[in-house]
Structure 1
Amino acid sequence: MISAFDMVSIGIDPSSSHTVGPMRAAFRFSKLLQQKKVLERVSHVKTELFGSLAQTDISHGSCKAVLLGLAGFEPETIDPEIIDDFLLQVETTQRLSLLGVHDSSFPRQNAITFHGPQTLPNHENAMELRAYNGEELLLSQIYYSVGGGFIVNKRKWNR
């Protein structure tokens, strides 16, 4: 059961399902890379946004939220004052420090793909994150941002 306090999320930009959820999903993905002891092998991460996350990115900032989450920032604790400088640094260097401890490539041309109206089964706000070492896929996860900043991993959804 969730309380009324759970439904109120602190986060960036106007929509918790488009920013807080993706930020939490990306953070959780980076933590999973660390838990599986493959974080240090990651050369780059690719993200695919589907449905509503892809269609409203410019106005709602899902892309920014993904970058921040992968870097280890969480919605409840991030200092809003650092966001613009952080995003500019990633844009300029095309590098991203996963969880703030492991440097990876993040080329702006193909690091995040927007699939517009295409959706994945289960929910319209879906995202897939994939970590690679060169061409070798290290880990892939699908998350659904189901509203209020809550996320569900595809594995748990299908149980």
Structure 2
Amino acid sequence: MEAIKSSKLREIKDTVSDAAEIMQQIGNPGVLESLNKVKDTAKAVNEIIRGLSTSEMVKNIENFRLISENMNETSAKMENTVTQLRETGFMYETSELVKSAKEKINSFSIDDDPNNINGQDLRDMSIASKEMMLSIKDLVNEISLTMAYSKKSATINNVKDTIKEVSDVYAVAKEM
């Protein structure tokens, strides 16, 4: 029994000695500075957590999540629309129409060369341009309908401005 008491006393003595050494280390200026930095960091983290826990911040975070989801859905729909436009050949036909119109415009000349533009060519080009503008307007309307379900944002306002500009171009082309 005496051996057990002696063993217990030695454990207590070692523990007290270790505790005294730890206390001595805590008094070291470098350790105190580190502990103060940890304390300051913990305070900052607590303030951030309190700030993030407010109802306004929770609502803002939820709104960001919804906006992100809407943008992902819009992106997927835009990709689908572009794919469909490629499959229908709309983009290729529009490109060819633009090339043809450019060639016709470049062929204006004063002399009576039969390869130059005449009144009927101008009329055909005007009609083709109007049809192209109508197609572009329909495309923009389809894209804006795709994006209509998302919340008002800078992107939506940019699309509206683009639609207005295309409508203005269409109006000018219609007057030709």
Report the TM-score range of the alignment, normalised by the length of the smaller protein: under 0.3
Structure 1 or 2: more helix by fraction: 2
**Could you tell me the TM-score, scaled by structure 2's length?**
0.24
- Which is higher, the Rg of structure 1 or of structure 2? 2
Structure 1 or 2: more strand by fraction: 1
Higher relative contact order, structure no. (Cα contacts within 8 Å, ≥ 6 residues apart):
1
